[in-house]
Structure 1
């Protein structure tokens, strides 16, 4: 860590209301967007642990609104947790205010920083160790939906505009095909046909939102296992973290993105698509956990559309990978030739397998 960066970290620490004197800090976690540090402060004999983060304002271009979203949601959750007899210091994120009472600070270079209380005795896992992890993940994100069911989602700012607006993603894709700036369209004619054959279905969820059939909800929009803290003693989901993408959206998209990521039998970028399929046992255990966590807070239309949420999120992700391939791999980081094309084919193979197993997917939702 260079002297300049250390200086900025120290500057941010001095601007935030941490208890005690800073003793040490070190990089923490596996996130790739923000710079995250575990900070230790000491006040006499007592140690205080914190998370210190530099918000990546190139990705999140409106950090002030982003922090307003997080502050609103975590304050709401805190009240719910207290009313239910829970521990508000472990079951939601707690923002450390700046010395002048804000939810963030800016350093002399214009970087945005924030602090959270560190949650001890809990761990985030990058991969599912056993089926119960996936069940706990589903239960946690379902519980998150239930806790925030009464929150006015329309008051939240879209931190990434049209993030899960599948029709908009489709229009961007069509433009990429038409412009073909890298001359790659002829290499992916089969994939382009796959998209266009399903184009009419792409707007199904957003049309239901416009009609009022699906309600606007507070959504997390990054429902991976490693955004849940698992209690080290009980093994149960404790706290949802990484709230940067908290936005107004659809509950079925949070459900669907978890299935896309967690119930695939292969890696997201597996070159051999014969290894790709939807694991119905994992789909079932997540669905069971999610609906148990929701505890009846979803409407019948939302429950009926859960399989479509899984399909749309997988389809949309494949469309985004294919769009980036056509545009020259400018958004998603690649580590080999045709990396985005491999990712595309994996997503589309998963969509195709979901279509084969559609009756089973619907039956599992009905079961729970």
Structure 2
């Protein structure tokens, strides 16, 4: 740690370093001095195979916002003593640092529709302000991340080649998922439809990726590792998947899963408040689809992993991915029932 700190200009004797946050991918620390405070991260290069691509995207976004929207609060990486924003230490990995935003905080749970509105507004603003960026300038940091066509194909392969006993156990879930294969078919049409635009998309719009001030107003979005070209249904859909129900994907009691209408309305209104003039008329009709798109895809991924003996997500207890698949199938059915 001493070598990392010194590269970023932090004297270990002047700064307190401690683990920070609840993120599951990157390891994060807070580095706090008498007057300054920073976030230090080690990028998980098992997930992000080319951390330098993330660094490139951050630089492209930072430069564009600086040139065109100077007032936007963008948390640019802190430079090392050599002027770099990403460093590699042999045997340890890739590190970067960010200034800590004073008088800011984040939430892990969306307890009020006002928070959903503010978050949706922030993610919408981020995409709107970056509408002038050439998509060719952005790297793909996670290939096929929200590619429903791929996830559906992987699911079908698991039905053929997966654990036979688990396939039998999952017959009800399989039947219920197969009823909604039209969601994957619709995605194929979206990719071929010029009315759906590729835009700068965050791709990880959980509530903890928005910073709020002390009055619970949004400041900006953070955790930009998955920023890359994408469709608006990814960001809106991920908000719906993670904001609409009062319980998370980990909930075993499916009776607690529900669709909170006021949260749905808040997401749509908050996002449209920024993106209404950017979205095509066709896209504006796909807000509900966005929710089904992301929930269906996550249900497929959890069940696929279960059928493949938990090789991707792993499990914290026996049947973990089976439980999560059932959770997301239930959420999907309850959202579709709203139509």
Shorter chain as denominator, the TM-score bin is over 0.9
Q: 2:11 & 2:56 partners in 1: Cα distance? A: 23
Stretch moving more, 308-317 or 175-184: 175-184
Deviations 1:242-286, CA, capped at 9 Å, x for gaps: 111112111111001100111014331222323322211110112
Deviations 1:280-332, CA, capped at 9 Å, x for gaps: 11101121111113252222222111111110100000000000110112222
Alignment correspondent of 1:293: 274
For the Cα contact (< 8 Å) 2:149–2:187, is it kept in 1? no
Residues 1:328 and 1:12: Cα distance change in structure 2 (over 3 Å)? same
Residues 1:228 and 1:36: Cα distance change in structure 2 (over 3 Å)? same
Alignment correspondent of 2:292: 311
For the Cα contact (< 8 Å) 1:221–1:253, is it kept in 2? yes
For the Cα contact (< 8 Å) 2:111–2:246, is it kept in 1? no
Q: Determine if the alignment matches structure 1 residue 12 to structure 2 residue 24.
A: no
Alignment correspondent of 1:256: 237
Q: Determine if the alignment matches structure 1 residue 68 to structure 2 residue 56.
A: yes
With structure 1 as the length reference, what TM-score do the two structures score? 0.87
Counting only pairs closer than 5 Å after superposition, residues 183-202 of structure 1 correspond to structure 2 as 183-202=165-184
With structure 2 as the length reference, what TM-score do the two structures score? 0.94
Alignment correspondent of 1:214: 196
Q: 2:111 aligns with which of 129, 141, 147?
A: 129
Counting only pairs closer than 5 Å after superposition, residues 314-353 of structure 1 correspond to structure 2 as 314-353=295-334
Alignment correspondent of 2:28: 36
Give the total of aligned pairs.
339
- Unaligned stretches of 5+ residues in structure 1: 1-8, 359-368
What is the deviation of 1:186? 0.5
Q: 2:67 & 2:311 partners in 1: Cα distance? A: 42
What is the deviation of 1:333? 4.2
Residues 1:301 and 1:144: Cα distance change in structure 2 (over 3 Å)? same
Q: 2:85 aligns with which of 88, 96, 103?
A: 103
Q: 1:24 aligns with which of 11, 16, 25?
A: 16
How well do the aligned residues superpose, as a CA RMSD in angstroms?
A: 1.9
Secondary structure (helix, strand or coil) at the match of 2:146 reads: coil
Q: 1:97 & 1:182 partners in 2: Cα distance? A: 52
Residues 1:72 and 1:182: Cα distance change in structure 2 (over 3 Å)? farther
For the Cα contact (< 8 Å) 1:214–1:250, is it kept in 2? yes
Q: 1:158 & 1:357 partners in 2: Cα distance? A: 35
Stretch moving more, 20-29 or 316-325: 20-29
Q: 2:189 & 2:11 partners in 1: Cα distance? A: 50
Q: 2:212 aligns with which of 203, 216, 230?
A: 230
